[in-house]
Amino acid sequence: MEIPYTVKPRPDTGIYNAKVGIWLFLASEVMLFGGLFSAYVLLRVGADEGYWPHGWLDVRLGTLNTVLLALSAITTLLAWVACKVGQFGRFKFFHACTMALALTFLGVKMYEYHDKWIHYEIKLKDGRFADGHMIASDDTSVTIEGRYVTDEKALYDLRSQGPIPRDEIKISRSDILSMENYGPWHNTFLALYFTLTGLHALHILGGTLVIGYLWGPGSRMWKKDPERFTNRIEVSGLFWHFVDLVWIFLFPVLYLT
Amino acid sequence: MSLKAFHLIFVSMMTALALGFAIWGFVNQLPWLGLASLGVAGLVVFYGFYFLKKLKKISYL
């Protein structure tokens, strides 16, 4: 049995069925991310004075990832246009570029996550705080590359402090009251950061898998039904553009505020 | 809405982001970043018009 309206537009909607489907899906995605963005706004507005982090994320890496996703949106469009004009070789090239850009994005994101994972805030028994990246740890001591502060608030607004000197600090475990890395459990900002960017990264991963399928085994459809294949590329491109648009909101909200 | 129309929205949002980033750069005493972002915003606008011209025959629906 032939699936109807995979190429020709359906008379009542004016578009082919897969496009209706992806837009319904994207509408649900808007609600998902919209809810999370709302949570961000409410939690941020309700945060205690002086306890909302500024400058915790590397703007250079965020900018790099923004550029990578912007370029991938262009290559996705070009892959679709290549299909439209019957240039299968160019389609292959542009979608390979999209995948390479997406995987680079994920690589940068993993690096950022790792950087937070090895970053520790250590509360000492004398009331001070040691903050920095873990270098070594054993049963008797912990060594970090960081600094001491007397007021915990000094750890929150890094942007107003300019370049922060970092030294190698060895702390005896008997001097430590508590220590915690910069995981999602550390504070509200990091919980939101890991939730929002983690969900977004999962979308990037999912999109890359779909694009990879259409680039590889799925591209066999080009020989028997090029129009339907072109529509599939358009639908995957719509999803990819949505994911890129989400990042355009995430970047200023998380990295620049 | 076709990929062409969605790409147009994306280009508009990228332009807004580049302009916002430029303002952020100037506010945070990073004038080189502000100027570079303004340049990027100009490039994105140029690209937007170029892409519209090239894809004139493709539907927005």
Is A159's CB within 8 Å of B13's CB?
A: no
Would the CB atoms of B24 and A256 count as touching at under 8 Å? yes
Q: How far apart (Å, rounded) are the C-alpha atoms in residues A256 and A185?
A: 22
Burial class (CB in 10 A: 0-12, 13-18, 19+), A168: exposed
Tally Cβ neighbours within 10 Å of residue A35.
10
**Helix, strand or coil, per DSSP, at residue B33:** helix
**All residues at 6 or more sequence positions from A119 whose CB lies less than 8 Å from its CB, including other chains:** A131, A132, A133, A134, A181, A182
Q: For chain A, 257 residues long, give each residue's pLDDT as a single digit of tens.
A: 788 899 889 999 999 999 999 999 999 999 999 999 999 999 999 999 888 999 999 999 999 999 999 999 999 999 999 999 999 999 999 999 999 999 999 999 999 999 999 999 999 999 999 999 999 999 999 999 999 999 988 999 898 887 888 999 999 999 999 999 999 999 999 999 999 999 999 999 999 999 999 999 999 999 999 999 999 999 999 999 999 999 999 999 999 98
Please report the residues numbered 25 through 54 in chain B whose beta carbons come closer than 8 angstroms to any beta carbon of chain A.
28, 47, 51
Q: Where are the domains of chain A?
A: 17-116+186-256, 118-181
- Gap between the Cα atoms of A69 and A77, Å rounded: 12
Q: Which two tokens stand for residue A43?
A: 């939690």
Least CA distance to A256: which residue of chain B?
A: B24
Asked whether the beta carbons of residue B3 and residue A241 sit closer than 8 angstroms, the reply is yes
> Å from B55 to nearest chain A CA?
8
Predicted confidence (pLDDT) per residue in B18-56, tens digit: 999 999 999 999 999 999 999 999 999 999 999 999 988
B45 contacts on A by Cβ (under 8 Å): none
Strand partners, A119: A133
- CA B48/CA B46 separation, integer angstroms: 5
A245 touches chain B (CB under 8 A): yes
Per residue in A217-251, is it b (16+ CB within 10 Å) or e — as a string? ebbeebeeeeeebbbbbbbbbbbbbbbbbbbbbbb
In angstroms, rounded to a whole number, what is the distance separating the alpha carbons of residues B34 and B18?
A: 9
Question: What DSSP element (H or E) covers A218?
Answer: none
Report strand pairing: A119-124 vs A176-181: antiparallel
pLDDT of B6 reads 96
For residue A157, give every residue at least 6 positions away whose Cβ sits within 8 Å of its Cβ, in sequence order, or none: A50, A53, A54, A55
Contact A23 B1 (CB under 8 A): yes
Q: Topology of domain A118-181, per CATH?
A: SH3 type barrels. (2.30.30)
Chain B hits for A70, CB-CB cut-off 8 Å, are 14
Q: pLDDT of A100-126, one tens digit each?
A: 999 999 999 999 999 999 999 999 999
| CB contact B10 to A (< 8 Å) | yes
Q: Is A238 on the interface with B (CB under 8 A)?
A: yes
CA atoms within 13 A on the CB side of A246: 25
Interface probe with B: pick from A15, A24, A75, A81, most Cβ of B within 10 Å? A81
Q: List, as ranges, residues 205-234 from A with C-beta within 8 Å of B.
A: 234
Length of chain A: 257
Relative orientation angle of helices A88-117 and A188-215, to the nearest 10 degrees: 160
pLDDT at residue A26 in the model: 97
List strand residue ranges (DSSP E) for chain A, in order: 119-124, 129-137, 141-149, 167-172, 176-181
Please list every residue in chain B whose beta carbon sits closer than 8 Å to the beta carbon of residue A80. Answer: 3
Q: Give CA–CA dist A123/A118, Å, rounded.
A: 16
Q: Measure Cα distances from A216 to A39, A173, A221 in Å.
A: 39, 53, 10
Q: Which CATH class is domain A17-116+186-256?
A: mainly alpha
What is the C-alpha to C-alpha distance for residues A177 and A124, in angstroms, rounded to an integer?
A: 5
B61 and A66: CB-CB below 8 Å?
no
| Closest Cβ–Cβ partner in B1, B17, B24 for A248 | B17
